[in-house]
Amino acid sequence: MGKLTAKAVQALGPGRHHDGDCLLLEVRKTGSRSWLARVRHNGKRRDIGLGSASVISLAKARERCREVRLAIAEGRDPLTLWKPSPPMARFFNEVALEFIEQREISGKSRQQAISRLEKYAFPSLGKLQVQSVDADNIAEALRPIWTTKPETAVRTRDLILRTLRFARPDGALLETTLARAITDRLPAQPRNKNFAAMPYTQVPEFMAKLTQKKTMGSLALQTVILTATRSGETRGATWREIDFKAGVWTVPAERMKMKRPHRIPLSPEAIAVLKAARVMPKADLKADSLVFPGATGKPLSDMTLTKILRDMKEPFTVHGMRSSFRDWAAEQMSMPGEIAEAALAHAVPNAVEAAYRRTTFFDKRREMMEAWGSFCDGSDGADVVPIRKGRGQ
């Protein structure tokens, strides 16, 4: 038990006051108060500063003093215990611009990224050290636009998180927990009403028309529909991710919304589309090359797929195709809903259930995706897929 109390820390006059176990409170004539750890290091007595008493509490000072003594016992330099590494001490705005530069974000995407950061992040976060940026100040930066400009707010949040992942040694581990903590501090965003979904009964007729278009954009949109993936996951796909022999497409964690790798069982129809992409004039079959490159060799833009729908006079959205798949699965398949949710790579909403669920229902998803492929192709001989009956029925 130390000699000092929290009340005494504020009341003691000038001098050095011992708490015990090497901890001292130094009170100067000016009234400023600071903590010291008086230790022997490398055969010499040293007084190591632990911080101002106006910021560091008595309990925290005792904890820091124990850390100093432990470091000395383990042969480490106690002076480096709380000294930030140079990258962690850099200002957020400097690191963010460096991140954009190193990621070689160019053209319109570069200007949009910089504009979002300058308008919504830099005013409050720009002059904070990377080590100081936390969920509270990120949430406050996003609060003015979180509900009024939800898409812009989410994109800005993602830029902030990607910058921290780039700048911090623990960035990869921090990113997921920080994203959740930010969301917890903000009100619920309004539901997006723009993802108009095509009724699933219309999908086979639409696919028949879509296959007549021999373009990279058409093949990409067919893949989005047949695999129930997000547009960005398909547009960023590389040949390395596709295993034709096993009939599996593995999207790496860094390209997934939930930051977890996603294995997608490929139906024969999906495989046929991917093989068609291999013989397109712009195809580059190197492992790291894009499956669906644009005219410049970079990924197709999201608007490329949207334009196909507009040109075909369809009032629906690319993202809405995932809802078409989900509605089909709910009405025409007898499998549990969580299998369709796994196919969509949705997070398990219940934390307890998520902790215990280890399966991704891969075999069941393959059965589901093959049925969906047959349905989209119109080769099942019916307008909808019959609900499977159990044995003995």
Domains of the chain with CATH codes: 6-83 (3.30.160.390), 88-184 (1.10.150.130), 200-377 (1.10.443.10)
Phi, psi of 26 (to 5 degrees): -100, 120
Q: Residue 21 — left, alpha, or beta (φ > 0 → left; ψ -120 to 50 → alpha)? A: left
| Residue pointed to by tokens 């977890």 | 260
Say if CB 43 and CB 60 are below 8 A apart.
no
Q: In what order do the strands lie in the sheet containing 44-52?
A: 15-20, 23-27, 33-41, 44-52
Mean pLDDT per 10-residue segment, the chain (393 residues): 82 89 88 89 83 87 89 78 71 90 66 89 93 92 90 86 86 76 84 70 94 94 96 95 96 87 95 96 91 90 91 91 89 80 69 46 92 88 38 34
DSSP 228-268: T--HHHHHT-BGGGEETTTTEEEE-GGGSTTSS-EEEEPPH
Say if CB 247 and CB 265 are below 8 A apart.
yes
Distance, CA of 26 to CA of 56 (rounded, Å): 13
Say if CB 314 and CB 321 are below 8 A apart.
no
DSSP 125-154: HTTSBGGG--HHHHHHHHHHHHTTSHHHHH
Say if CB 25 and CB 9 are below 8 A apart.
yes
Question: By C-alpha distance, which of 151, 236, 202 is closest to 309?
Answer: 202
Which structure tokens are listed for 131?
Answer: 């080590």
- What's the whole-model pTM score? 0.49
User: Dihedral, CA atoms, 182, 184, 185, 187, nearest 10 degrees?
Assistant: 110
Distance, CA of 379 to CA of 204 (rounded, Å): 9
Distance, CA of 199 to CA of 325 (rounded, Å): 9
Environment class of 336 (CB within 10 Å of its CB; exposed 0-12, middle 13-18, buried 19+): exposed
Say if CB 318 and CB 224 are below 8 A apart.
yes
Distance, CA of 301 to CA of 340 (rounded, Å): 27
Bridge partner residues of 88 (DSSP): none
Which structure tokens are listed for 26?
Answer: 């130094």
Distance, CA of 322 to CA of 200 (rounded, Å): 10
Which DSSP letter does residue 80 get? G
Which DSSP letter does residue 347 get? P
What is the model's pLDDT at position 383?
41
Largest alpha-carbon pair distance within the chain?
92
What is the model's pLDDT at position 389?
34
Distance, CA of 167 to CA of 90 (rounded, Å): 9
Angle between helices 92-102 and 150-167 (to 10 degrees): 90
Question: By C-alpha distance, which of 383, 343, 376, 374 is closest to 359?
Answer: 343
What is the model's pLDDT at position 140?
95
What is the model's pLDDT at position 365?
93
Bridge partner residues of 79 (DSSP): none
